[in-house]
Structure 1
């Protein structure tokens, strides 16, 4: 039987989440509020602020209820979509929350609820853990950071190095000298 060091795994997951949030903070710090609200149409229809709100909503789903995580609760039209400073403050709030988490909380079973169909309203609920969901929201954030990176570059905004690149891809790039970044 394999024994997993929950504390070591917990530290890795928290570290990865913090690193991702720090990328968002670096991006927002480098732009104006007007840039934060721009849409890089026709390529991307959502602003950086709208993508950030979506990322934060998933973190708030984890933070809000330790028994049932509901990813379908969204704050569309919230101030964070149009106010860069609100975005920065909310990223910092999520970071502070992550620092309050304890390893023993990670393995507890929780219920996750989300819609799964693009044709009709179909909701599923599955048993999961906070650690698993922290991994998910971090990877999901990276996906949206990739879109934010494209949007920012189309609007002539400098972005942090490795913005929106998955950890496994970065490892492959570090280990393969033939890959050009």
Structure 2
């Protein structure tokens, strides 16, 4: 079976849920590839430089935070625990290392083929215990995409503050990009 025939077969005969999961995986991989390309082009001093004026962590801190969330979802076991993230400080200071991890995440994501149920552990209150809720990998992929876009928008501001030019779509929500395509300015 050729690649084209194989892809057509998947498109027409793959169960709808698996098609949806694949689409969400592909959308997350596209976003992580944009981030990885940006990260790999950065000098370490800019990448790890906190911004006192904007009262934000460094670009690297935001990249680490994004990676931690993906790792929380990709760890096997049917439980996603956003509260117990690894927080590898090396990701925050070493752009090459962070880029390698982003590329590895894309590879791991590509193996996700269906949306199983999952339990999610997350704190929503500083004083109280973590909440555990039912979810599914598709829902968590939607969350990861939105969360990553949000942090890429912050990274964009930090980059602009350091005179780094980024594509206009970097850190912009897909819904906003769709809206802007359909509105004449």
In the superposition, the TM-score normalised over structure 2's length comes to: 0.87
Q: Please say if residues 23 and 160 of structure 1, whose CA atoms lie closer than 8 Å, have aligned partners that are also in contact.
A: no
Q: Please say if residues 71 and 113 of structure 1, whose CA atoms lie closer than 8 Å, have aligned partners that are also in contact.
A: yes
- Aligned equivalents of 1:76 and 1:66: distance in 2? 20
How many residues in Structure 1 have an aligned counterpart in Structure 2? 171
Of 50, 57, 64, which aligns to 2:61?
Answer: 50
Structure-1 residue corresponding to 2:177: 170
Of 108, 112, 125, which aligns to 1:117?
Answer: 125
Residues 55-97 of structure 1: CA deviation (Å, up to 9, x unaligned):
0001000111331100012233521011001110110110000
Unmatched 5+ stretches in structure 1 = none
> What value does the CA root-mean-square deviation take over the aligned residues?
1.5
- Larger relative contact order (CA 8 Å, sep ≥ 6): 1
Structure-2 residue corresponding to 1:73: 84
Q: Please say if residues 47 and 95 of structure 2, whose CA atoms lie closer than 8 Å, have aligned partners that are also in contact.
A: yes
- Aligned equivalents of 2:18 and 2:125: distance in 1? 36
**Greater mean alpha carbon deviation, residues 154-163 or residues 87-96:** 154-163
Deviation at 1:122, TM superposition (A): 2.8
